[in-house]
Amino acid sequence: MEKEGNLSTLSIITLFSMLFSWIFIHRLKQRNVKGPKTWPFLGAAMEQLMNFNRMHDWLVEYLSRSRTVVVPMPFTTYTYIADPANVEHVLKTNFNNYPKGEVYHSYMEVLLGDGIFNADGELWRKQRKTASFEFASKNLRDFSTVVFREYSLTLFDILSRASYSNQEVDMQELLMRMTLDSICKVGFGVEIGTLDPSLPENQFAQAFDIANIIVTLRFIDPLWKVKKFFNVGSEAVLDQSIKTIDDFTYSVIKRRKAEIEEAGVINKDEKIKHDILSRFIELSKDPESNMTDKSLRDIVLNFVIAGRDTTATTLAWAIYMVMTHEDVAEKLYLELKEFEKDRAEEEGVSLNTYQEDNPESFNKRAMQFAGLLSYDSIGKLYYLHAVITETLRLYPAVPQDPKGILADDVLPDGVKVKAGGMVTYVPYAMGRMEYNWGPNAASFNPERWLKDGIFQNISPFKFTAFQAGPRICLGKDSAYLQMKMALAILCRFYEFKLVPGHPVKYRMMTILSMAHGLKLTVSKRSLDSKEMRMLEAHKGTR
């Protein structure tokens, strides 16, 4: 009996010795690895979970030491890349080997379904072809210009009232409302009125944000499938959020279908509106398209995340950058003032005088200025374009974008990647790498984009805010149009100040939104004698 006890004790000691030896050898192998610490079974999950709320900056730390970082996880391995050569290989050269993949699709399916951002192969190509045709339409471009101007002026009016009452506003929330109204009008032909002066509660937007956060958490939560199966914890919250999202989305589809049907009954020859949803609804009438209301639902939600979240968050970061960099704010203001004067002379428009304390004259002048902002004329605002692009360099709307790996491959820098894993290019980190942008990479410097005052494009594999290769963002021009329209109107007439003590940091979700919004106060700009002198000096240097 004593002998059996000794054998049991010896077996336990041997087992633990082998386990600790394995862990010791594993840790020894990690000494020269430039990535995070990993453990048997768990990989780097512990360190990722501990750094979840600052994961983008966590990756900056590793990618600044190595252009490629391998992060093993319990069920897959992530390879993060920040070198433009590697990015070009993944997004273009060997594009077919790096689809969204089954892993990514399974994480995002509940929210994005089989929409364009979550689809691969023929399904993706069909959606892209239809959307590409629509984005190239002059009708859509002209309609978008009118809609973006209209909603920018609606936001202008809300800020005007806030300035008179010295009221604090959450700029990110207002921008989200503006872009949601815009994408529903331009993309789906419906008005939903979330930017109404009463600022009605928006359950869809709240549910969409919650769902976005939870599906992002799935990427590092090995237990999400268990929670989903039992419908507990974050997955139970996600389930409720999706129900709210679906109620809204299917109502949009139903409304648009009814409008199309009614238009056809009233006038057989009347063409339907050329919004994106209408085109897909027409496609769904073809039995061979295999499109259902669920397909249309996925399309709507993919364009919502593209047209609402990305544009609104970029505008919020841009306003934050402008108001925290006084020299940038001044240069932008002077460009807008000079533009206003020159365009008024070209159009033969006599600009109304205004006083900041006279709401009626102030608003009329803003409407005059907005009327000078056409699709073509707004393209001449090079410094404004540089401000937005520099914002996207440091605060890209999509901070990281994972791709699946179909077959084993070797990246240009020699790193081997295995089938079944994930490769993620990281725009947030790429914009902060000195090996990409030089020693002032971390500085906000719009001038880096200008040569002799003219904006200069660079390789999309270095500036990856709109992706690159076959999946490059179709809505890039439309996004710039809306952002320039809104910023031009707002920065021409307002100054912004951050509410004292308000924290500004990102929230971990697929889109780089601000965790606590952007709380600020608004005041009207007046052209004093100092600014007049600066304007004349600026004009003399042209």
Please say whether the beta carbons of 450 and 383 come within 8 A. yes
**Going along 127-285, which residue ranges are E strands?**
169-170
d(CA 1, CA 508): 58
- What is the length of the chain? 542
Candidates 419, 395, 416, 354; CA nearest to 504 is 395
Please say whether the beta carbons of 111 and 449 come within 8 A. no
Q: Does 473 count as an annotated binding residue? A: yes
* Tokens coding 285: 């009438």
Q: CA dist 204 to 200, 319, 333, Å?
A: 12, 25, 36
End-to-end, the C-alpha distance of the chain in Å comes to 98
Determine how many CB atoms are found less than 10 A away from the CB of residue 256: 23
CA angle 513/514/517 to nearest 5° reads 125
For residues 443, 444, 448, 452, the Cα torsion angle rounded to the nearest 10 degrees is: -130
Candidates 412, 413, 11, 144; CA nearest to 3 is 11
CA 5, chain centre distance (Å): 63
Binding-site residue set: 473
Binding-site residue set for heme: 473
